[in-house]
């Protein structure tokens, strides 16, 4: 691929763009920046707002409880996220936008010769997810995507959080099982009750394991059939993973088609969960072409997405299985999730979870990120453009350089940066 086709992007907010106009110009001249992914901070017109499941007002906690993901034990999500959901005008869109400043920022970037993408949040806010089966939520998101694609002369939508909650919130793996999702499961050929029964049976299988013997096996190594064998895994568990992926594909394919009809020149994509754990978030790389024009593997969140998942799952296993040590629980998780053999920490304390900003210096960050970028190219359709999202600060220059050069070798098509202090000196005054 010619260097000119290489996408160099950065995530910025509208206010950053307006406050530091020379920042992107210098990035353009010094590192070849050609694209800015700017958070949507405009307003929505009445005809779009009329479709909001919020009905034009701030929803009560009881009303939100009806709109959001429900766990298979009947609990709604953690209400701690409700205040964030209540600050929106509908799933994924802030109620405090200003169209004039958003348009001004888009115009300023275009004048600087840059492409402009936007991202809006969508289905998930940390633990909270709006139910993916509800027709009102889907019609709303479609109307919002079409508005974004048609009103601001944007080059692409790179919608964020179109997925199930991240693996570091284990309860998120077991939703949504609400009545709308049960009905959708039936329409798609799945049986919600059978899936829930098989999930519960797998958990029983886990609890029946002898922790000491399991530790011995973990140190020797285990494979796909061992997992199936040990848990007495039944087909409903696989169906559960597939059902969630099918729902995400159906929803995103609907939005992509609507955007294509309304704005044929605006690309549609969504940030893409790290490949090793993508299926846990409902992201199926093999089918990415059905629901997006490009992939943007979000491999920058090494703390929230990846390491916190290791820690949470290891602690969950220790709770479920007596006599399983923390060290063995971590090794089990590494192997099960496909991150073994790279020298990840042997104890939870070694992660220093209270200092996420320096985490990259305590773990083999380049190996971790590249493992997911190698897998991404195995799974993504061969012609699918792919723009990994990585950190340009807090990771160290050697790590960054290795990830970028390997990304080129692997056939990815650019990098979208989060932070640039390792790439260019710039003082934000
Ligand atoms: Zn649901």
Q: What is the 3-state secondary structure (H, E, C) of 304-351?
A: HHHHHHHHHHHHHHHHHCCCCCHHHHHHHHHHHHCCCCCCCCCCCHHH
Distance 66 CA to ligand 1 centre (A): 9
| Cα–Cα dist 375/379, whole Å | 6
Instruction: Specify the CATH number for the domain of residue 85.
Output: 3.20.20.80
Q: Is residue 387 one of the residues assigned to a domain?
A: yes
pLDDT, residue 72, reads 81
Count CB atoms within 10 A of the CB of residue 224. Answer: 8
Task: Report the separation in Å between the CA atom of 272 and the middle of ligand 1, taken as the mean of its atom positions.
Answer: 22
Average pLDDT of each block of 10 consecutive residues along the chain (429 residues)? 78 96 97 96 95 94 90 76 90 90 98 95 83 94 96 95 86 88 97 96 95 96 96 97 97 97 97 96 97 97 93 95 96 96 97 91 97 98 97 95 98 97 94
Residue 85 lies in a domain: yes
The pLDDT value recorded for residue 2 is 45
Which three-class secondary structure string do you get for 228-246?
HHHHCCCHHHHHHHHHHHH
Interatomic CA distance for residues 323 and 210, integer angstroms: 8
Return the structure tokens found at 305. Answer: 């997405």
**3-class state of residue 284 by DSSP:** coil
- What was the pLDDT predicted at 75? 75
Q: Give the distance (Å) from ligand 1 centre to CA of residue 353.
A: 32
pLDDT of 4: 65
In a domain, 167, yes or no: yes
Provide the pLDDT for residue 128: 87
Q: How far is the CA of 12 from the centre of ligand 1 (A)?
A: 32
Query: Is the separation of the CB atoms in 13 and 38 below 8 Å?
Result: yes
Return d(Cα 46, Cα 40) in angstroms, integer. Answer: 17
| C-alpha of residue 411 to centroid of ligand 1, in Å | 37
Domain coverage including residue 82: 3-69+77-189+243-319+365-418
Q: Who contacts 289 (Cβ-Cβ below 8 Å, separation ≥6)?
A: 381, 383, 384
In-domain check, residue 222:
no
Q: Helix or strand or coil: residue 379? A: helix
The answer to whether residue 211 is domain-embedded is no
Domain total in the chain: 1
Q: How far, in Å, is the centroid of ligand 1 from the Cα of 240?
A: 13
**φ and ψ of 234, to 5 deg:** -110, 165
Half-sphere exposure of 57 (CA within 13 A, CB side): 4
User: Quick check: is 372 in a domain?
Assistant: yes
CA of 294 to the centre of ligand 1 (A): 27
Compute the C-alpha angle 380/385/386, nearest 5°.
70
Distance of CA 333 from the midpoint of ligand 1 (Å): 28
What 8-state DSSP symbol labels residue 96? S
Question: How far is ligand 1, taken at its centre, from the CA of residue 182, in Å?
Answer: 7
Q: How far is CA 389 from CA 111, 166, 352, in A?
A: 25, 17, 24
- What's the pLDDT at 11? 96
pTM metric for this prediction = 0.95
According to DSSP, the β-strands at 156-159 and 267-272 are parallel
Distance between Cα 154 and ligand 1 center (Å): 32
CB–CB of 423/16 below 8 Å?
no
| C-alpha 180 to ligand 1 mean position (Å) | 5
354 in a structural domain: no
Residue 404 included in any domain:
yes
């Amino acid at each position: 691929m010619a260097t000119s086709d290489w996408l160099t992007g950065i995530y910025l907010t509208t206010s950053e763009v307006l406050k530091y106009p020379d920042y992107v110009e210098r990035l353009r001249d010094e590192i070849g920046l050609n694209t800015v992914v700017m958070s949507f901070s405009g307003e929505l017109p009445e005809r779009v707002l009329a479709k909001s499941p919020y009905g034009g007002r701030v929803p009560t906690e009881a009303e939100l409880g009806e709109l959001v993901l429900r766990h298979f034990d009947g609990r709604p999500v953690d209400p701690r996220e409700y205040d964030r959901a209540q600050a929106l005008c509908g799933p994924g869109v802030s109620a405090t936008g200003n169209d004039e400043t958003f348009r001004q920022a888009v115009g300023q970037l275009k004048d600087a010769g840059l492409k402009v993408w936007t991202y809006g949040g969508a289905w998930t806010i940390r633990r909270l997810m709006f139910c993916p089966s509800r027709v009102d939520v889907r019609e709303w998101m479609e109307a919002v995507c079409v508005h974004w694609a048609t009103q601001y002369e944007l080059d692409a939508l790179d919608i964020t959080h179109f997925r199930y909650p991240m693996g570091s919130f284990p309860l998120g793996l077991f939703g949504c099982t609400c009545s709308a999702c049960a009905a959708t499961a039936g329409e798609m050929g799945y049986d919600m009750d059978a899936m829930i029964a098989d999930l519960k049976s797998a958990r029983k299988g886990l609890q029946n394991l002898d922790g000491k013997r399991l530790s011995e096996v973990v140190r020797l190594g285990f494979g796909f059939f061992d997992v199936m064998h040990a848990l007495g895994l039944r087909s409903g568990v696989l169906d559960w993973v597939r059902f969630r992926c099918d729902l995400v594909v159906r929803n995103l394919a609907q939005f992509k088609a609507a955007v294509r009809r309304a704005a044929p020149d605006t690309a549609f994509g969504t940030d893409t969960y790290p490949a090793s754990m993508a299926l846990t978030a409902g992201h199926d790389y093999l089918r990415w072409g059905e629901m997006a024009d490009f992939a943007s593997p979000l491999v920058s969140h090494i703390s929230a997405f990846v390491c916190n998942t290791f820690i949470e799952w290891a602690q969950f296993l220790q709770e479920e299985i007596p006599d399983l040590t923390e060290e063995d629980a971590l090794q089990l998780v590494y192997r099960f999730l496909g991150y073994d053999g790279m020298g990840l920490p042997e104890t939870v304390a070694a992660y220093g979870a209270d200092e996420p900003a320096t985490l990259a210096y305590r773990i083999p960050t380049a190996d971790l990120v590249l493992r997911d970028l190698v897998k991404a190219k195995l799974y993504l359709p061969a012609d699918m453009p792919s723009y990994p999202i990585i950190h340009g600060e807090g990771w160290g220059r050697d790590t960054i350089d290795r990830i970028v050069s390997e990304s080129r070798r692997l056939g990815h098509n650019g990098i979208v940066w989060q932070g640039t202090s390792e790439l260019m000196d710039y003082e934000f005054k």
